[in-house]
Amino acid sequence: MTEQRLLLKNHLNTRYAQNSFVNLLQIEIVEIDAGMAKLSMPILHDKHTNLYNIAHGGALASLADTGMGMACASLGQKVVTLEMNLNFIRKAECQEAILAVCTVIHHGSQTMIAGADIFDDTQKLLVKARGTFFITGSFLAEVK
């Protein structure tokens, strides 16, 4: 890993650790690599569920959006979400942690496309997501 990539990874870990929304949902970074991010989030009855006591779609969408944004950021890009779609494959019961595996699919000059697969604690697919992100700047100047 190059020194600049290591500095970027540390910078992103710090930035996300200080984000109040990420902390509210208890999203944790599992792994960051070039064009890839893995994030976990618990499904807690008093925080992440809907009236049926299963994961709220908004909580799952937030995990996917955060993970895809981080995958883009892992390539040094600051991005905002232009559009996102999700397929909810199966319900997510309360559990210790679900895992979002997010990757960059396309890195253009102005936009990026990323995907996210969210798995439960038995590795069953819960959500398949895709998003388009607008590049607003670069993190690389911040990590010199």
Domain count across the chain: 1
CATH number at residue 109: 3.10.129.10
For residue range 118-135, what is the model confidence (pLDDT) as tens digits?
A: 999 999 999 999 999 999
In the DSSP assignment, the letter for residue 140 is G
Q: Lowest mean pLDDT of 12-16, 22-26, 87-91, name the range.
A: 12-16
Range of the domain at 57: 3-143
What pTM value is reported for the model? 0.95
User: Distance between CA 32 and CA 15 in Å, rounded?
Assistant: 13
pLDDT band for 1, please (50, 70, 90 cuts): low
